Chain A
């Protein structure tokens, strides 16, 4: 089995500032890693994923994430946050076998202040 930890429940950043959301996972092999965003009353939207290869992955909306095996981390970053980025962000880790094998973190709620 695997687990994922998002240590920050709530983060507030100023518009235009940089952002880093932390994600740590526990899994014995190379995991399948995902970041999703959820706006209020909406379903989840995939921002980016890592399966293998280049450890720095680019996603939609200007987000990127870096897989660091030595730290068991997959932190999400954005150089300049926009007010529309306010939402909840979920890191997820999966093992072979498909989406039914994915475990989601508890989420980080991002607030953006002008």
Chain B
């Protein structure tokens, strides 16, 4: 596709359920990022992949959050035993450059809005 695609657009989960959010980056993009954007806040970094390698997961808020990118393209962010504080928009972004370099722009998807009830 022409841009970064995220699915689903909206997800409602009951507290305690597991959810999986998908990100399809732009074809050929090496770097992939996940961000969490709470209501009224800016995006906060969660994790970064270079191809299939997860090079930085320092932003994951707890061990309930897990991300993978097994073939270096599509990525999945999984949240286990969801809590109300997990309600947010989850943004995925990709870049053609390695190591997340600023030399190339970051392309954002439209996000998945997760609501935990």
Contacts and interface: CB of A to CB of B under 8 A. Distances in A.
A43 B102 CA distance: 18
A98 interface: yes
B100 interface: yes
Interface of B: 4, 31, 33, 40-45, 48, 55-56, 91, 93, 95, 99-102, 105-111
18 contacts: A41-B111, A42-B110, A43-B108, A43-B110, A43-B111, A44-B43, A46-B106, A49-B102, A51-B102, A90-B42, A97-B99, A98-B101, A99-B31, A99-B93, A99-B95, A100-B55, A100-B100, A106-B41
B42 A99 contact: no
B44 to A, nearest CB: 7
Nearest to B97: A98
Closest 8 CB pairs of A and B: A98-B100, A43-B108, A104-B42, A100-B48, A99-B100, A44-B108, A100-B56, A104-B43
